Amino acid sequence: MNHKWLLLFLIMTSTVFISGCWSQKELNELAIISAMAIDKNEEGKYVKTIQLVNPGNVAGGLQGGGNGQSPAVTVYTAMGDSVLEAHFHATSKVSRRLYHGHANLIVISEELAREEGITDILDAFERDPEIRMTSRVVIAHHTKAGDLLKSLTAIDKIPAEKVNGTIQTTERARGESMEVTLQDVITTLTSAGKETVISGFSLIGDIQQGKKMENVQQSELDTTLESDGLAIFKEGKLVDWYQGEMSRGVVWILDKIQQTDVILDWKGQENTLTYNVVRQKTKVSADTTNDLPVITVNVRAEGDIREVRSQIDLTDPYEILDIEKEFEKEIKKQLENTVTRTQQNKSDIFGFGEVIHRSDPEKWKKMKSDWNDTYFPNLKVNVKVEAFIRRSGNRTNSYISDMKQ
């Protein structure tokens, strides 16, 4: 009987020890990082900026009135010879243990990406089990990467959330940006048939103003963050920057467009029709019968007419057919422009190489080593677009038709 009581006692006391462990971290001992940024300064050292969340100020702002409150994030900067070393130096500035589990955003400066490329800096991120591979990556355009983190934003208390949210919304609504996760970047870096594309973000205004709380307390902010096109890479180095229709072309060929607008000139009048693509499907196929493969991009888009600025008769199906044809031409032109410019950049960001790899591995083996420089720029790319106009919103013809009568 004594044995049993002793055993029971032991079991109960050991449960006390189970609740903690060697690597235990209490919540108030953690500094939660929401974003990280990497720059390079003039001396050639890596500058790492981390954006920490001030938990008390994130929710409290709603209750406290917002005046004189401290911002929801704090930003620290540190330097080092490698990314990880810079990171370690940052720990000397923070009173708590840095926790990366919620670091959703990694910003890399354009300068660093152009000069050195991103291949060397991402290994520490990939290896650490605490950093999620689903963190988004963004390139800072015309700004220092750290400045993107320092600027305070309205509506979203944590600027990292704003950056991620903006990119997501832009991707969904306009298709000029793409959510790129760390995993995507590394997959495309290691892949021979596809080059990296990363969305860009820029700072409008003055960073010194942006750091202050007053920036957020105005109706029109002096300093804001804006999504700014796509950064095109070749073998890990930034080579070009696409904006507007060009960047949308890239996203289109990558089949990531969810909704977008195409504007059309009609019968001499500029920018008369706006077509909102609601659904689209893009298929890329390769024909490897000749020495130089022929790539076909098949686009099928479906959408509505959303803005009319002239007297077009939208109730007439034949008219709609004509409009569809015009749209197909316009989309085809934009996509072909994008392909031409990318071919000039000699960087296969569309993954045409991967498509060839999948359909004809033998041919791909021969072309793999020179793909970006020799074969890709000379590829013949056929773009076939089928656009369908389904509806025209809550009105058929524009009131402009009635007015001019």
Partner 1 sequence: MEKAKISAYQLFILIVLFELGSALLVPIAIEANQDAWLAILIGMVGGFCLYLVYHGLYSYYPDIPPTEYIQKIMGSFLGKILAFIYVLYFIYLSARVLRDFGEMLITSFYWETPLFILNTLMVLLVIYTVRKGIEVLARTSELLFVLIFLLGVSVLFLIVVSGIIQISYLEPVLEEGIKPVIKTTFTQTLYFPFGEVIIFAMILPYLNRPEKVKRIGLLAIGFSGLILASVMAINVSVLGVNNITRSPFPLLSTIQTIEVAGFLERLDVYFILITVIGVFFKMCVFFYASVVGTANLFKVKESARLAFPLGLAILILSITIASNFSEHVKEGLHVITLYLHLPLQVIIPSLLLLIAFIKNKKKKSKHSKNLFPKRKYRLVERDKK
| Residue 359 or 401 with smaller CB distance to partner 1 | 359
Provide the 8-state DSSP code for 27: G
Q: Would you tell me how many other CB atoms lie within 10 Å of the CB of residue 49?
A: 24
Q: Give the one residue of 20, 66, 244, 361 binding partner 1; rule: CB under 8 A.
A: 361
Q: Cα dihedral sign for 255, 258, 385, 196?
A: negative
d(CA 94, CA 91): 5
SS3 10: helix
| Residue 329 or 358 with smaller CB distance to partner 1 | 358
**Which structure tokens are listed for 33?**
């990082």
DSSP H helices, 97-154, are 110-115, 123-127, 145-150
Contact status: 23 vs partner 1 (CB under 8 A): yes
Closest distance of CB 58 from partner 1, Å:
16
Q: How far apart are the first and last CA of the chain?
A: 105
Q: Using CB under 8 A, which of the segments 110-118, 217-225, 352-360, 383-391 binds partner 1?
A: 352-360
Contact status: 190 vs partner 1 (CB under 8 A): yes
Closest distance of CB 101 from partner 1, Å:
7
Beta carbons of 82 and 67 less than 8 angstroms apart: no
| Residue 270 or 362 with smaller CB distance to partner 1 | 362
Closest distance of CB 23 from partner 1, Å:
4
SS3 384: strand
Closest distance of CB 253 from partner 1, Å:
15
β 224-234/136-141 pair status = unpaired
Q: Give the one residue of 357, 367, 376, 392 binding partner 1; rule: CB under 8 A.
A: 357
Beta carbons of 348 and 376 less than 8 angstroms apart: yes
Closest distance of CB 20 from partner 1, Å:
11
Q: Give the one residue of 65, 129, 268, 317 binding partner 1; rule: CB under 8 A.
A: 129
| Residue 6 or 321 with smaller CB distance to partner 1 | 6
Q: Give the one residue of 45, 96, 114, 132 binding partner 1; rule: CB under 8 A.
A: 132
Closest distance of CB 53 from partner 1, Å:
16
Contact status: 209 vs partner 1 (CB under 8 A): no
Contact status: 133 vs partner 1 (CB under 8 A): yes
Closest distance of CB 125 from partner 1, Å:
13
Alpha-carbon Rg for the chain in angstroms: 26
d(CA 23, CA 20): 8
Q: For the window 302-341, what string marks contact with partner 1 as x by the rule CB under 8 A? A: ----------------------------------------
* Residue/partner pairs of 158-161 with CB below 8 Å, 24 or more apart: 158/34, 158/51, 158/53, 158/58, 158/72, 158/73, 159/35, 159/51, 159/73, 159/225, 160/34, 160/35, 160/51, 160/73, 160/104, 160/105, 161/34, 161/104
Contact status: 20 vs partner 1 (CB under 8 A): no
Q: Using CB under 8 A, which of the segments 31-39, 132-140, 207-215, 338-346 binds partner 1?
A: 132-140
d(CA 295, CA 286): 5
Q: For the window 254-273, what string marks contact with partner 1 as x by the rule CB under 8 A? A: --------------------
Where on the chain is the footprint of partner 1 (CB under 8 A)?
A: 21-23, 101, 129, 132-134, 183, 186-187, 190-191, 354, 357-359, 361
